[in-house]
Structure 1
Amino acid sequence: MADFKHERSSEEKGRRPSLLVRQLEPDTDDQSIDTITALVQEDHGHEIKLRTMSWQKAAWLLAGDQVCLAIMAQSWSLSVLGWVPGILTMVFAGIFFWITSMTMHKFIMKHPQIMDICDFGYYAFGKSRIAYHFTAFMLLCNNIMLIGFHVLTGAKVINTLSDHSQCTVVFSVITTLMGIVMSLPRTLKHVSFMSMFSAACMGIAILLFLVFAGIEDAPLYGYLGEYPTAGPVRTYAFPLAGTTWVGCMNAVLNITFLWVPQILFPTFISEMERPQDFPKSLAVLTAISIFLFIVPPAIGFHYLGQYATAPAFGSLGPVVYKKASFAFVIVPTLVIGVIYANVSAKFVYNRLMGKSHHAHSNTIIGWTAWVGVMAVIWLIAFIFAEVIPSMGDFLSLLGAAFDSFFGFIFFAVAYWQLFRGRLFANVGRGIMSVVHAIVMVVGLFLLGPGLYAAVEAIIADYSGGTKPAFSCANVAI
């Protein structure tokens, strides 16, 4: 992995930010600012310019990724954990999200040449090529399986709306082809425009669900049986009697999965014109996330109680309610798949093209390679969607195996690299050092007991029979 170096010209030195700006950006030193300036100037000399996003467009991109269908699975997490453990898990997940994301940003400002999470792993672990390749493997596995989940979700939406008018594989193919076409833009600035519509559509879907859950007489069914076999709808402070540790752990993984998108953040930051403005985008995202990740799931749990399903749309009684609310999910399903595909394709594409002018020019070779890489990524995701019997369980597996690194362990290590030898220089630094030690412990816990719980859930599903690969079975909610 090359360690990029940029010589500072006298002209660039003259463009250093004022003292006031540097005071507002305490984590960005003069050398980093000079490197960022050089990187932006180099990029703007290309035909295809990547480093063009403002912090506002980055905020929309973040919101488009985070305002997703996984929000509608949180009512189920509350139904497993109960109010007290469930809300506490959500709150602490949000706190850890902010702290680790800010640590990531500080680390990237020290190494502005970082282009993706693989570069981040390379520098965080002492310029280790092993860490770089290991992170690359995890990046592609995580992202492609998530794209596969969105292919399956797209098929589920179309199945629901069409009353299973075609074989499910046909709907998966349609979703895959739409994803490839929508993924053709090469800059995240253009994808951010899609994200605005994605977040808006998901917001409408959530609002409609809450309205329908409130006005219907009772939910249709839950994992404990059809209403009213599991008794009247009720909520509870702690897990119900008989709830297993594996069930609770999977509910926790479901929550942490929603709060851990940092695998994408280095790529987002690398395409900002002013990467030092990322905390503004992050603040917008955090405010949106705190509300959407806690309030709608809590309202959903209030109305659905022990009948909550994942996603919660499945618990609604009248079919028209399901269709009206679930229909809007098709947009975020495709757009979020596009975001993950863009980040994955950029990693592969940049390794294929290297420093060739095709990498950043409108050439036939460049665009052919880009379309080819994107098509292969979506095709592999399509195969995952068809051959994996329970995508929900495999998302728990992803949460334990990958989010433990990309949401916790990586940033505890990065923090140690940033402040090595100064971990307890003052009271504030000492407190943050202890917090990051806790972050490391949480990451290791998710990687150990969390991974065990995810594997146990998969084994249980396999023992109960699984759907065959490339099945035409109806997957409508």
Structure 2
Amino acid sequence: MLDISEKDSQGRVENSSKETTVQDVFVDDEDHAFRYKTLSWQFVSLLMIAEIVSNGMLSLPNAMAVVGIVPSLILTIFFGVFGLFTAKLLVDFKLNHPNVHNMGDAGDIMFGPVGREVLAFGTLIFSIFATGSELLSGQLALSELSNNGLCATFLLLIFSAATFVISLPRTLGRLSWLGLFSAFFITLCGILAMIGSGVDAVPGRKLNATATASFFDAFLAVTGPVFAYAGHFMFFILISEMTRPQDAMKAAWVLQVFATVFYAVFSVVVYAYLGSTVASPALLSLSPIWSKITFAVGIGNFLLSGALYSHVAAKLVFVRLFRGTPHIYSHTLMGWSVWTFLCFACTAVAFILATAVPVFSDFVGIAASLFASWYTYGIAGFFWLHDAYYLGKGWETLKRRWIGTTLAVLTILAGAFICVAGTYVSIKLIVEAYQSGMAGKPFTC
């Protein structure tokens, strides 16, 4: 068991040294106009799949082309299992601290006000960058489907406007059915991509079980498997709107098992048919007709995923401003005005970054390295150590449960390594892009 604390019948966390009364983020009252705690674990798993698998699978075949089939598969499976382990630590922390709504709240508990601001800011920044990444995927899909019939900036603006509209519902429960369709679309997109790669397989393709690469090229390739599961920063917000937060691990199991199996099968099949020439995203390596088909199916997922990221960024600020006030639960002019502005601002900033920064995808890599490396992996170790110490018997619990303590420390070190190495690789990519003149210009078609 990874759980540290025991709760009494009133939902309080108790131990021999202290007692803390906790209150859930959202109060569920039938008289409230907005009832947040409506998500079942099944729909949470679908929203997780829609968010994480969206762009996660598209770079994996290219990673396999760089490091080979065996290392890539090992990494994909390892990080799938590792992601499930850190999800367990995250869920336990949430259940022990029901008032936690986002990483900022968790940071406040563990590191005080400074930790709160740093982790909240990181969540906001990463959510906006992730929104921008989805906007670019949508723009790429529209460009492919229209044969570049319209300026890319205009297509990005059109897709951004649609993303903003879909992000507007105030509760995640209103987006849950869209999550079902989104998960279906990305799964179908992957299946069609595998079929398309088989129909138009590259003749004389070269396949490698293992491949030799420099540290830079190898780590650049393995960022695909590493960050393919980078969605844990959203889990606290999703769990906060569950009917039964105690079922959150069921959703995590569904997500990680599905993603790991799907990633492994997709990357092997596409790489086996396209060989070392496979691009990133992999859909661009398909024949024109199959590329159009897969982008046409995948665009629905890109749209909802972008809206979900924008919604999460807006929700973080909205709850921070109005927690405990009527604006959270009622139709007030102030509440709706601020909420609409926040959704618009988050999508607008993502649009501006995506079109104004020529090497935006590399900046997304920096954001992922700085924040997702911790939110998905490293910070989970701190969750375990904190609750083992404060909800247990201090150092005695850490020593007695030495296996858990060791795993927690190794998890923190893994997050630190991914953060440093990933940031180095991303910065080097940006420098090389500008030195080679491949960076392009902002606001151009």
TM-score (norm 1): 0.85
Q: CA deviation at 1:247?
A: 1.5
Q: CA deviation at 1:370?
A: 1.0
2:51 counterpart residue number: 65
Aligned-partner Cα distance in 2 for 1:270–1:171: 35
**Aligned CA-pair RMSD:** 2.0
Give the letter for the 1:432 counterpart.
Answer: G
Are the structure 2 counterparts of residues 39 and 396 from structure 1 closer, same or farther at C-alpha, using a change threshold of 3 Å? closer
3-state SS, counterpart of residue 205 of structure 2? coil
Task: Select which of 218, 224, 238 maps to 1:254.
Answer: 224
Match of 2:105 in 1: 119
Q: Secondary structure at the match of 2:149?
A: coil
- Which residue pairs with 1:470 in the alignment? 443
User: Residues 121 and 410 of structure 1 are in contact (CA less than 8 Å); yes or no, is this contact kept in structure 2?
Assistant: no
1:254–1:399 CA contact under 8 A, matched in 2: no
The 5-angstrom pairing of residues 60-459 of structure 1 reads 60-125=46-111, 128-218=112-202, 232-240=204-212, 243-316=213-286, 318-420=287-389, 421=395, 422-425=397-400, 429-459=401-431
In the alignment, the residues of structure 1 paired with residue 407 and residue 195 of structure 2 have an alpha-carbon distance, to the nearest angstrom, of: 40
1:31 Cα deviation from its structure 2 partner: 5.9
Question: 1:29: which partner in 2?
Answer: 7
What CA distance in whole angstroms lies between the structure 2 residues aligned with 1:383 and 1:395? 14
* Mapped contact 1:267–1:343 kept (Cα < 8 A): yes
**Percent identity over the alignment?**
26
CA shift, 1:400, in A, is: 1.5
Q: Which runs of 5+ in 1 are unaligned?
A: 1-22, 220-231, 473-477
Measured after TM superposition, the shift of residue 46 of structure 1 is 2.3
Query: Residues 32 and 289 of structure 1: is their aligned pair in 2 closer, same or farther, counting only changes over 3 Å?
Result: farther
Render the CA deviation track for 1:350-401: whole Å, top value 9, x for unaligned: 2333433122211222212211111111110000110122333223222211
Task: Kindly state the Cα deviation for residue 250 of structure 1 after the two structures are TM-superposed.
Answer: 1.4
- The answer to whether the 8 Å contact 1:28/1:276 transfers is no
Question: Residues 408 and 440 of structure 1 are in contact (CA less than 8 Å); yes or no, is this contact kept in structure 2?
Answer: yes
Residue deviations 1:132-182 (CA, integer Å, cap 9, x gap): 001121111111111111111111110000011111111011011101111
TM-superposed deviation, 1:27:
6.0
Q: CA separation in 1, counterparts of 2:374 and 2:117?
A: 14
SS of 1:96 mapped into structure 2: helix
The aligned amino acid for 2:274 is L
The alpha-carbon distance between structure 1 residues 32 and 333, as it changes in their structure 2 partners (threshold 3 A), is: farther
Structure 1 contact 117–263 (Cα < 8 Å) conserved? yes
Matching residue of 1:11:
none
Determine the structure 2 residue equivalent to 1:224: none
Given that residues 167 and 310 in structure 2 are in contact (C-alpha distance below 8 angstroms), is that contact kept between their aligned partners in structure 1?
yes
- The aligned amino acid for 2:118 is F
Counterparts of 1:371 and 1:320 in 2: how far apart (Å)? 39
Distance 1:172 1:440, change over 3 A: same
User: Following TM superposition, by how much is the alpha carbon of 1:344 offset from its aligned partner in structure 2, in angstroms?
Assistant: 0.8
**Cα distance change on mapping 1:65 and 1:217 into 2, 3 Å:** closer
Deviations along 1:162-210, whole A, 9 cap, x unmatched? 0111111110110111011111111111112111101111111111111
**Are the equivalent residues in 1 in contact too, given 2:126–2:372 (CA < 8 A)?**
no
Change in Cα spacing, 1:263 to 1:40, as seen in structure 2 (3 Å) is closer
State the TM-score, normalizing by the size of structure 2: 0.91
Cα gap change, 1:308/1:123 in structure 2, threshold over 3 Å: closer, same or farther? same
**Worse overlay, 409-418 or 27-36:** 27-36
Mapped to 2, the partners of 1:298 and 1:431 lie a distance apart of 35
The separation in 2 between residues aligned to 1:270 and 1:248, in whole angstroms, is 38
Distance 1:160 1:180 in 2: 22
Amino acid at match of 1:105: V
